[in-house]
Amino acid sequence: MSVQLNVVPFVSVDKMMKLVLAIGIERFLSELAATIEEDFRRWHVFDKQPRVASHSADGVIELMPTSDGTTYGFKYVNGHPKNAHSGRQTVAAFGVLADVGNGYPMLLTEMTILTALRTAAMSAVAARHLAPKGARTMAIIGNGAQAEFQALAFKALVGIDSLRLYDIDASASAKCRRNLGRFGFDIRLCSGAADAVEGADIVTTATADKQSATILTDNLVGPGIHINAVGGDCPGKTELHPDILRRSDIFVEYAPQTRLEGEIQQLPADHPVTELWRVIAGEATGRRDGRQITLFDSVGFAVEDFSALRYLRSVLAGTRFFEDLDLLADPDDPRDLFGMLLRAGP
């Protein structure tokens, strides 16, 4: 990293993709998952502010800050379901890591790809504690931008080698199978949700519509499975029938946020849930037995983004996968900002 005070390392989309491929997608996911577990084990040190949301008719723009007292991170992320119609991502993001001691940013990075990776890594971390032992088959319902990342994270961290794919748009499933061709999965394209969940140890739901839909009904959910609910992640958007929730042991990232944004917005505000960090820290039990239905009601939390930024920074040093961004004014004399401006003239 540079010692010039004006410069902030910047990871562009192009550099991020090349970095991830240079490290290897599965290794990146595994190391990122390890960083998330590390941070979840020290959950109490984090400043857990609610995200700062600016809602509009078409979507939301959010700032998600957190700090461990030494390092500060935030993510800017939008959520605009109609964006796909204009060729844009429904979710795009960038983030910053900064030094709490002097307030200076020390990393600026794209986070659209990084968020896809951290969401998948987070799901796999949860599944390591919640999925049935020896799970090898996962259904993925909703085969959009998150599907392949989920598949690879569950391969790397849980041992999934068989996928059952379903999407209302068959071309999405075909895209998913094509992209995963080189990774050694046994892949089956399914004709519906009922077909997809048959024989699955884990069911991942990752649909994208900003509305409450019932992707899974109660009769489809057999004993012993783990449900990884990724798509229901904002007020008014859920994927699961409430009867499934009532039969499941529910695990969440941060209960105050999940009660607003997750599947459990369909349940009374006092319905018991377990925060996942307690399981990871050994303070609560994850899966108890082979017949229990476990549910990870994932909405994404600032600490995970912090982990992702922290992991990214740790692998950047000494690489060529960042640029120097001239982001911070750095006059020779801090009181002489104006003099610096004048001296920039011809």
* Token pair recorded at residue 66: 């957190």
Q: How far is the CB of 109 from a copy of itself (least distance, A)?
A: 9
Dist CA 23 CA 220 (whole Å): 39
* Catalytic position from the list 39, 201, 233, 305: 233
Least Å distance, CB 301 to a copy of itself, is: 16
Question: What sign has the CA pseudo-torsion 332, 337, 343, 344?
Answer: positive
How far is residue 230's CA from residue 329's CA, in Å, rounded to a whole number? 41
Span 287-326, contacts to a copy of itself by CB under 8 A: 325-326
Residue 160 binds to a copy of itself (criterion: CB under 8 A): no
Q: How far apart are CA 254 and CA 231, in angstroms?
A: 16
| In the complex, least distance from residue 221 CB atom to a copy of itself, rounded to whole angstroms | 26
Is 189 one of the binding residues for a copy of itself (CB under 8 A)?
no
Q: How far is CA 2 from the centre of its chain?
A: 29
Q: Which is nearer to a copy of itself, 10 or 311 (CB)?
A: 10
Of 321, 339, 345, 289, nearest to 110 (Cα)? 321
CA distance 57 to 149: 30
- Residue from the set 149, 185, 251, 277 that interacts with a copy of itself by CB under 8 A: 149
Residue 134: left (phi > 0), alpha (psi -120 to 50), or beta? left
The least distance separating a copy of itself from the CB of residue 23, rounded to whole angstroms, comes to: 12
Q: Contact with a copy of itself (CB under 8 A): which of 45, 170, 194, 337?
A: 337
Our CA dihedral for 116, 122, 124, 128, rounded to 10 degrees, sits at: 180
Nearer to a copy of itself, 117 or 280 (CB): 117
Residues 206-245: x where in contact with a copy of itself by CB under 8 A, - otherwise, as a string? ----------------------------------------
Contact with a copy of itself (CB under 8 A): which of 159, 161, 168, 179?
179
Residue ranges in 87-146 that form contacts with a copy of itself under rule CB under 8 A: 87-90, 92, 94, 96, 98, 100-105, 110, 112-113, 116, 143-145
Shortest Å distance, C-beta 64 to a copy of itself: 10
Dist. CA 112–CA 116, nearest whole Å: 6
- Whether residue 308 contacts residue 117, with contact meaning beta carbons closer than 8 Å, is answered with yes
Amino acid code (one letter) for 144: G
Residues contacting a copy of itself: total by CB under 8 A: 80
233 in catalytic set: yes
Catalytic (active-site) positions: 233
